[in-house]
Amino acid sequence: MKKKVLVLAKAEPAPSSKYGASVCTAGVTDEGEFIRLYPIPYTIFCDSSTRFSKYDWIEVECERSDTDKRPESYKVKPETIRVVGHIGTDYNWAERNSIVLPLLSDGINELKAKGVSLGLIKPTRVLDLYRDKTDTEDEIREEYRKTFQMVFDTETERMKKIPVIKPIDVHYSYKFECAGDPSVHDIMCEDWELYQSARSWPLHYGNDEQVVWEKIHEKYYDKFTTDNDLYFFVGTHFRFKTWIIIGLYYPPKVKWKQTTLLSKSGGV
């Protein structure tokens, strides 16, 4: 079947013994339903003629997954992906908000009660963004090396310009509270944008790990909780069924300024 999808989140690329380096993508259909598209080969994003971005409308042929029984999961035919539009940030993300915000749930508990595996939640209070050392083992690192080998080794000018994707030695998590959940949630964030910042920012800020971490915390915690309305796209892990943050949604806060027009003559 053919689906028209607004891309909302792209998780950190991961190695797969079956599909190679792949990206799990989540979006909403033109019928207003969440959808998970997998597998999308990492190579799709290595070519300007095939790559797509968040908030692109894409058309894609897909079918219900025979192995992934999560209700929103569809198996993609990657060669059929076609970008057919894009939603920008005009008027403080007005058009994006009109599509995304109706998807909002009160919290993880409501999503569990609905029996879904994808959702949008808004924390009432973000307590922390922190990092932990990963327990990535040598064999997992080797799997990354193998699956991305074609990116590393190719001699074409096109591929030489692609940034190296490598496993990060830390993972990032948010602690937060939601209106519908009384407890504090502590959930790992797999947003590709966040991890790409960790990979690329040493080129701008130097190789001091602490400096790079401070810049990441400044943007993804300080700024997003002060200047933006931060929401989380969340989904369940295929194998462990635990909830993870797969993407961030951060429209700017609307600052209303009340203006009173007065004239000395009493007119307007």
Instruction: Give the residue, 261 or 53, on which the prediction is more confident.
Output: 53
pTM here is 0.86
The dihedrals phi and psi of 263, each to the nearest 5 degrees, come to -135, 150
How far lies 149's CA from each of 36, 105, 159, 169, in Å?
Answer: 26, 40, 12, 19
Instruction: Give the residue, 267 or 83, on which the prediction is more confident.
Output: 83
Task: Evaluate if residue 160 carries a pLDDT over 60.
Answer: no
Domain boundaries, the chain: 2-249
CB-based contact 18:90 (threshold 8 Å): no
pLDDT tens sequence across 202-212 = 888 998 989 99
Average pLDDT score, the chain: 85
Mean pLDDT of all residues in 259-263: 45
- Residue 159 pLDDT grade (very low, low, confident, very high; cuts 50, 70, 90): very low
The dihedrals phi and psi of 31, each to the nearest 5 degrees, come to -100, 5
- Closest C-alpha to 134, from 164, 174, 168: 168
Cβ count within 10 A of residue 116? 16
pLDDT tens sequence across 94-138 = 999 999 999 999 999 999 999 999 999 999 999 999 999 876 555
pLDDT computed for residue 40 by the predictor: 93
Mean pLDDT of all residues in 26-42: 95
Q: Spell out the residues 6+ positions from residue 87 whose beta carbon is closer than 8 angstroms to its own.
A: 6, 55, 57, 95, 96, 99
Task: Evaluate if residue 66 carries a pLDDT over 90.
Answer: no
Task: Evaluate if residue 247 carries a pLDDT over 60.
Answer: yes
**∠119-195-18 over CA atoms, to 5°?**
75
Task: Evaluate if residue 46 carries a pLDDT over 90.
Answer: no
- Residue 213 pLDDT grade (very low, low, confident, very high; cuts 50, 70, 90): very high
pLDDT computed for residue 170 by the predictor: 84
Q: In this prediction, what percent of the chain has a pLDDT beyond 70?
A: 82
CB-based contact 21:14 (threshold 8 Å): yes
- Residue 43 pLDDT grade (very low, low, confident, very high; cuts 50, 70, 90): confident
- Residue 167 pLDDT grade (very low, low, confident, very high; cuts 50, 70, 90): low
pLDDT computed for residue 254 by the predictor: 82
Task: Evaluate if residue 141 carries a pLDDT over 90.
Answer: no
3-state secondary structure of 241: coil
Lowest mean per-residue pLDDT among 83-92, 167-176, 203-212: 167-176
Give the Cα separation of 135 and 151 in Å (integer): 25
Q: What's the burial of 9, exposed, middle or buried (CB within 10 Å: 0-12/13-18/19+)?
A: buried
- Closest C-alpha to 73, from 24, 127, 37: 37
- Residue 180 pLDDT grade (very low, low, confident, very high; cuts 50, 70, 90): confident
Give the Cα separation of 83 and 52 in Å (integer): 7
